Amino acid sequence: MTCNVRSHAIRLGSALFVALMLVAPTSMVAEADEKLITGLDQSVDESGYSVRFDLNGAAETRLLRLVNPDRVAIDFIDTLPVVPIVTPPDNAFVATVRHGLAASDRYRFIYELKQDAVSSIERQARSGGEIVKLTIGNAANVVPSPEPVADAAPAASQEAPAPRRDIEADRDLIIVIDPGHGGVDNGAVSKSGTYEKEINLAAAFSLRDALLTHPRVKVVLTRESDVFIPLDERAAIGRREQAHLFVSIHADSIRAAGLRGATVYTLSENASDELSRQIAATENAADRFAGAQWQRSAPDVVDILVDLTRRETVSFSEHFAASLVEDLARNDVRLIKNPKRSAGFQVLMAPDVPSVLVEMGFLSNREDEKLLTDAAWRADVSEAIADAIVGFFRGEQAARASGTE
């Protein structure tokens, strides 16, 4: 007996997309021939777990097997979903699904397995597009796909686990570093007169130098001197550079002078806690220094693709932030309690660039201020962050852990 699962939200998402195309201006209709996943249907039967992707055209796909933990992934090349992705129904093979941009031209669905399984892909033409069906089950019921399987599960003694996100071999890893505040915007100022804008710039230079010790890494700073850059423009720099990651560097101040340690923030409509709300409010207030030329609000964006892309970008940012917190702790960098937090930081709002904001410490705390003004300490922390970034994107940490380097 087959158990089909299609949520009302999925139907609504498709309806919204169709409606949007009907009323969209000419500039948006021009994008209507982009490859999209317009429907998603999950089912469970004797063969195992299946998911059907309805596309508005033929899309190139790639099937992967990832390890530690065991996962099956499917990439859609130059294709984006315009439907919500729902939790898999109860089944014997798939525990969870994660999804998001794996590269600028590749959208990935990752299915974490409950037990050893094989996977197959079937393709079928349909009116106005194509159906791609992914099935995950045991070898008795599922014939493995004849398509090439990349990153096949290796013997632990021979190969490292697959990288957490693919970067093409012929392309540099592009990191945009954003030293917070600058110019007329001093940011936080300690009781002894230390300016946050100066700490942020010094730390950004240090992180840039640490990243450039790794091969094939390009680093761009949103500012390289004491100048004011509006928040939207900082995010726009990340988009123009087609950055793999945007890192905003800060060292804030808070009324609780005893609070100290680093924090990693991601974007969220609702702050994860009161401290995050206060920090975001402080950082977002930076644009009060912007002149009239920066006060004009950008027109509302109604394209559903932008909203969905932002959601998946935030999802990827969350995974990186969690990994960065782990790496900082492993390198003995002091962290506050619950160091991975989220809030509505305007500087993190680029819809297609994974972004995090790193508060290295608090200038309102004397011990943190001593560290933040210490070039050697900044260099150590920068090295830890740089290693975490490159390790996350290229799997270097996994390779070192397995002893294959």
Mean pLDDT: which of 7-21, 143-157, 274-288 is highest?
A: 274-288
Report the mean per-residue pLDDT for the chain: 77
pLDDT digits (tens, 9 = 90+) for 83-140: 888 889 999 999 989 888 776 678 889 899 999 888 889 999 988 899 999 999 988 7
pLDDT score for 9 = 34
Average pLDDT over residues 221-233: 92
Place of tokens 């004849």: 146
Per-residue pLDDT band for 2 (boundaries 50, 70, 90) equals: very low
Backbone angles phi, psi at 20, to 5 degrees: -60, -40
The encoded tokens of residue 343 equal 């809030």
Q: Are 165 and 178 in contact (CB under 8 A)?
A: no
Q: How confident is the model at residue 264 (pLDDT cuts 50, 70, 90)?
A: very high
Q: Which residues pair with 118 in a beta bridge?
A: 137
pLDDT in tens, 284-296: 666 555 554 444 4
Is the pLDDT reported for residue 276 higher than 80? no
* H helical segments located in 212-250: 231-240
Q: What phi and psi, each to the nearest 5 degrees, are found at residue 38?
A: -100, -10
List phi, psi (to 5°) of 186: -80, -20
Length reported for the chain: 405
| pLDDT higher than threshold 90 for residue 202 | yes
Between CA 237 and CA 113 the distance in angstroms is 38
* Report field, pTM of the whole predicted structure over 0.85: no
Least confident of 113-122, 194-203, 310-319: 310-319
Q: Which of 29-38, 138-147, 184-193, 340-349: highest mean pLDDT?
A: 184-193
Lowest mean pLDDT among 42-46, 83-87, 134-138, 242-246: 83-87
pLDDT of amino acid 250: 94
Q: In this structure, are residues 231 and 281 in contact, taking their beta carbons and an 8 Å threshold?
A: no
Measured distance CA(67)–CA(156) in Å, rounded: 9
Interstrand relation of 79-81 and 48-55 (parallel, antiparallel or unpaired): unpaired
Cis ω before 69 (30° cut-off from 0): yes
pLDDT single digits (tens) 143-155: 766 444 443 333 3
Residues 322-344 have pLDDT tens digits of 999 999 999 999 999 989 988 88
pLDDT given at position 164: 35
Query: Is it the case that residue 79 has pLDDT exceeding 50?
Result: yes
Residues of the chain with pLDDT > 70: what percent? 73
What pLDDT was estimated at residue 47? 82
Cβ atoms < 10 Å from Cβ of 277: 15
- The confidence score (pLDDT) of residue 82 equals 85
Check: CB of residue 101 under 8 Å from CB of residue 313: yes
Between residues 30 and 18, which one has the greater pLDDT? 18
List of E strands, 9-158:
35-45, 48-55, 61-66, 71-77, 79-81, 94-103, 106-113, 118-126, 129-137, 149-150
Q: Would you place residue 223 in the very low, low, confident or very high pLDDT band (cuts 50, 70, 90)?
A: very high
pLDDT given for residue 249 in this prediction: 96
Give 225: exposed, middle or buried? Use CB within 10 Å, 0-12, 13-18, 19+.
exposed
Q: Give residue 53's pLDDT.
A: 95
Whether the pLDDT of residue 214 is over 80: the answer is: yes
